[in-house]
Amino acid sequence: MPESRRIPLAGSERTPLAGARATCAVSPDERFEVTVRIRRKTPARDLTPDASHESDAPGARRYLSREQYAREHAVDPGDLERVQRFARDHGLTVVDASAPRRSVFLSGTVRQFEQAFGTKIEQYECDGHVYRGRTGALTLPAEVAEVVEGVFGIDDRPVAIPHFQRPNASGNIIAHAAHASFTPPQLARLYEFPGGDGHGQCIGLIELGGGFRSADLKKYFQELGLPTPAVKAVRIDGARNDPSTADGADGEVMLDIEVAAGVAPGATIAVYFAPNSDKGFIDALTAAIHDETNKPSVISISWGNPEKNWTKQAMHSMDQAFQTAAAIGVTICCAAGDAGSGDENPDGLAQTGDKPDGRAHADFPASSPWVLACGGTHLTTVGNTISAETVWDDDALRSATGGGVSDIFPPPAYQASASVPPSANDARHHGRGLPDVAGVADPQTGYKVRVDGEEFVIGGTSAVAPLWAGLVALLNQALGHPAGFLNPLLYGAKGGGKVCRDITSGNNGAYHARSGWDACTGWGSPRGTRLLEALKGTSGGTRAGAARGSRESAPH
């Protein structure tokens, strides 16, 4: 195909990690897989409700079924065939194609992918990290580029870090005094979670490394006096349940399972294990959202990175997937980060090779307007009651809740009256504010967990996302239908002030707590029964059919 007909794929630009150097060319015959994401066949405005209307709160919204979404809004068959034909013309093997996931999965050699996407693939090394990478933008023939949303997997650098707190600089988990920690059932009582056990619900967990041990789960829940939860490992892109040591990603995996199931022990826990790359993350996300077997009604994500460290095509594609989740009634809970308003803990970023720049950053995917971003607090109790709760802000660089203003996503309609401050970097810039809600995250008042045969206390906003996911499972069980996209209810007529405990003391560096919504803890920590009553008050309507009126959120 003539080069004159090729155009750059928007948002696909890549630069090497800071300090990285190309060490050698990758063997032209090395094989790997790539995911091509294709545009939706219907405009975004036809998919989800305008979140500015309180009448469109979750209980009143009509959610699509997964089957209805696939039939009415997935991929145009002609677009799917156009991409598959392009792949075959370049000698690539179509491993699979999914219209609901809007994805074509391709296998090929380095040489074939270089020719197909107009790039050069090299091996890079950075601070001991080795990854397959590329620079610049990918290119495609114009007639194919117009239908392609993103191409993922050519560059396989790690893209996210887990947001569970490792209190010391060496990165090891440190246990804290038992009196300063909580079990998930204790937090459920303190935060007034409604009754029930989540039976009939499935909580999805996205994990980009690590694993769980069944013996640990049996012992942990036995000590809590709870039944061992049903936990399923779902393999994505060849990844698997792969436990190693307590100071690695196992801490994240076990924390997520134990917190979510400790709150909703009757729920099924589906753990989607994927490689830590943009392809792995996106493939796990779309697999979970469109999983017709497990059908999670809520998904918890405790992995992320500052927005500046993502490609625009990755953020756009994931944001589109989150929008789809909102349309089919799947709640997405995302950790807001553990390094304050800068979101750049040097110890954590070392895992991905990224470098701090000293500016304020929002964490992605928490910054997507279609997710429930979860910030962190420091919790003090007297007996079985909360005596004080403040912003988690032990160390604004290494141990504090994330939060702030997105550089990428514009303010969503539902935040119109939330008084989101301008960016700390530029008073002229206004964007999506986060978090939306919060919960205890300070390691000094953290969560009792069991990891690889050892018991620890772990904190971080990583724990808050599965805590809220467990609450959503209880809400769904009590309501008899999915709570779904909660943000409109929280912001509509300042609803968050009615169903959350307002946190008014503390800061995360650049942003300060205040009465009402703030960029440290959002509306605050949960009051579960009040949230349930608010959802019951808006319940009604049917659960089938596309919701009306929408405004698409997209990177800009």
Evaluate whether the domain defined by 161-537 bears CATH number 3.40.50.200. yes
Q: What is the mean pLDDT of the chain?
A: 90
In contact, 195 and 371? CB cutoff 8 Å: no
Integer Cα distance of 347 and 181 in angstroms:
24
Helix, strand, coil % in the chain, rounded to nearest 5: 30, 25, 45
> Which pLDDT does position 447 carry in this prediction?
95
Give kind and range of the element (H or E) at residue 260: helix 250-263
Integer Cα distance of 344 and 348 in angstroms:
7
Task: Judge whether residue 440 has pLDDT over 90.
Answer: yes
**Given pLDDT bands bounded at 50, 70 and 90, which one contains residue 132?**
very high
Query: What digits encode the pLDDT tens for the residues 155-197?
Result: 999 999 999 985 553 334 443 334 479 999 999 999 999 999 9
> Which pLDDT does position 249 carry in this prediction?
94
**Given pLDDT bands bounded at 50, 70 and 90, which one contains residue 66?**
very high
> Which pLDDT does position 2 carry in this prediction?
44
**Residue entry with tokens 């799917």:** 80
Provide the Cα torsion 454, 458, 463, 467; round to 10°.
Answer: 70
In contact, 426 and 360? CB cutoff 8 Å: no
Task: Judge whether residue 485 has pLDDT over 80.
Answer: yes
Q: What is the mean pLDDT of residues 315-328?
A: 96
SS3 235: strand
133 CB contacts (<8 Å, ≥6 apart)? 14, 16, 20, 22, 121, 122, 123, 124, 155, 156, 157
Q: What is the mean pLDDT of residues 337-361?
A: 85
In contact, 334 and 371? CB cutoff 8 Å: yes
**Given pLDDT bands bounded at 50, 70 and 90, which one contains residue 356?**
confident
> Which pLDDT does position 283 carry in this prediction?
98
In our burial notation (b when 16+ CB lie closer than 10 A, e otherwise), range 208-227 reads: bbbbbbeebbeebbeebebe
Look up 395 and say whether it is catalytic: no
> Which pLDDT does position 46 carry in this prediction?
66
Task: Judge whether residue 348 has pLDDT over 90.
Answer: no
Look up 462 and say whether it is catalytic: yes
Q: Is 171 left (phi over 0), alpha (psi -120 to 50) or beta?
A: left
Q: Take residue 47 and report the two structure tokens written for it.
A: 């998919």
> Where along the chain do its domains lie?
3-39+75-152, 161-537
Integer Cα distance of 319 and 313 in angstroms:
10
Residue in 216, 237, 252, 291 annotated catalytic: 252
> Which pLDDT does position 552 carry in this prediction?
40
Return the HEC string of 106-170.
EEEEHHHHHHHHCCCCEEEEECCEEEEECCECCEEEHHHHCCEEEEECCCCCCCCEECCECCCCC
> Which pLDDT does position 299 carry in this prediction?
98
> Which pLDDT does position 19 carry in this prediction?
86
> Which residues are paired to 97 by β-bridges?
104
**Given pLDDT bands bounded at 50, 70 and 90, which one contains residue 59?**
low
Integer Cα distance of 364 and 349 in angstroms:
14
**Given pLDDT bands bounded at 50, 70 and 90, which one contains residue 3?**
very low
Integer Cα distance of 543 and 539 in angstroms:
11
> Which pLDDT does position 52 carry in this prediction?
34
Q: Which amino acid is at 281?
A: F
Task: Judge whether residue 426 has pLDDT over 60.
Answer: yes
> Which pLDDT does position 521 carry in this prediction?
98
> Which residues are paired to 374 by β-bridges?
335, 437
Helix pair 461-479, 250-263: axis angle to 10 deg: 30
Query: What digits encode the pLDDT tens for the residues 262-286?
Result: 999 999 999 999 999 999 999 999 9
Look up 256 and say whether it is catalytic: yes
> Which pLDDT does position 543 carry in this prediction?
35
Concatenated DSSP letters of 277-325: SHHHHHHHHHHHHT-TTT--SEEEE-EEEEGGGS-HHHHHHHHHHHHHH
Which of these ranges, 88-97, 247-256, 444-453, 534-543, has the smallest mean pLDDT? 534-543
**Residue entry with tokens 């493939």:** 283
> Which pLDDT does position 47 carry in this prediction?
72
> Which pLDDT does position 53 carry in this prediction?
38
Which of these ranges, 125-129, 147-151, 469-473, has the smallest mean pLDDT? 125-129
Q: Take residue 523 and report the two structure tokens written for it.
A: 């509306």
Task: Judge whether residue 555 has pLDDT over 80.
Answer: no
Residue in 256, 338, 393, 518 annotated catalytic: 256
Residue in 392, 347, 396, 358 with CA at minimum distance from that of residue 509? 396
User: What whole-number percentage of the chain has pLDDT above 70?
Assistant: 90
What does the DSSP 8-state code read for residue 370? T
Residue 365: is the preceding peptide bond cis (ω within 30°)? yes
> Which pLDDT does position 35 carry in this prediction?
98
Q: What is the mean pLDDT of residues 356-367?
A: 95
The reported pTM is 0.93
> Which pLDDT does position 423 carry in this prediction?
97
Residue in 462, 525, 550, 553 annotated catalytic: 462
